[in-house]
Amino acid sequence: MFEIIKAGGWVMWPIILCSIISMAIIGERFWSLQRKYVIPKGLVSQVWKWVKEDKIDKIRLDFLRKSSPLGRILAAGLLNMHHNREVMKSGIEEVGNQVVHELERYLNTLGTIAEITPLLGLLGTVTGIIKMFAVVGSGGLGNPALLSGGLSEALVSTAAGLTVAIPSFVFYRYFRGLVDGLVVSMEQEALKLIDIVAGEREVNEV
């Protein structure tokens, strides 16, 4: 393995660093974006029960805020439940934007890695070709062994860059879609909450 890294030249080190960061982000996002953590099972029905029984108080609101991203959004709506629909909606949207930002944490970094690693591989290709021409200029074409060093640097760095970029891009798109789906689900629950508090929907309908 070390021989391959050595053959790829100095550009392999930033590519390796990108691969480590990419794997760390993918692992962290897989853990954090599990549906059971973002939209806990049973939380919504529990909130509807509190609303129906008029048991919303500070302790329950604090519990909701700490329970999950969905809990934070619902708590924002319940905090303003004695105001009109627009005030409730405004409070939910404000907290919702913060929640979405947290769900998208590190995704821009993962997308950046997917974009720059092929460029790093291309840079390695260019430096390898330059090395080949330098060998040709100084010693001619008589020694293939000298030329192979530049060629291997060009090919290995390109392959390494693509090896990191392709899975990084795939997981970037996957997590973006996952976040979008979670956001839609949370928006639906928030709208149901607004309708119930505004008297436009019965708790038994959810």
Token code pair at residue 33: 């974006």
Can you tell me the mean pLDDT for 18-38? Answer: 95
Q: Given a cut of 70, is residue 14 above it in pLDDT? A: yes
d(CA 56, CA 61): 7
Amino acid at residue number 194: I
**Local structure of residue 33 (DSSP, 8 states):** T
In which band, very low, low, confident or very high, does the pLDDT at 38 lie, cut at 50, 70 and 90? very high
CB 203, CB 48: distance < 8 Å: yes
Contacts of 35 (CB under 8 A, 6+ apart): 182
Q: Given a cut of 70, is residue 196 above it in pLDDT? A: yes
pLDDT at 45: 82
pTM, rounded to two decimals: 0.82
In which band, very low, low, confident or very high, does the pLDDT at 118 lie, cut at 50, 70 and 90? very high
**Residue at token pair 């604090």:** 62
In which band, very low, low, confident or very high, does the pLDDT at 197 lie, cut at 50, 70 and 90? confident
Selected residue with higher pLDDT from 151 and 113: 113
pLDDT at 200: 56
CB 12, CB 157: distance < 8 Å: yes
pLDDT digits (tens, 9 = 90+) for 149-177: 566 777 888 899 999 999 999 999 999 99
By percentage, how much of the chain surpasses pLDDT 90?
A: 39
pLDDT digits (tens, 9 = 90+) for 94-103: 999 999 999 9
Token code pair at residue 6: 């050595």
d(CA 20, CA 110): 11
pLDDT at 139: 59
pLDDT at 5: 66
Q: Given a cut of 60, is residue 201 above it in pLDDT? A: no
Contacts of 159 (CB under 8 A, 6+ apart): 121
Average pLDDT of every residue of the chain: 84
Burial of 201 (0-12, 13-18, 19+ CB in 10 A): middle
Can you tell me the mean pLDDT for 136-154? Answer: 62
Taking only Cα atoms into account, the Rg of the chain, rounded to an integer number of angstroms, comes to: 27
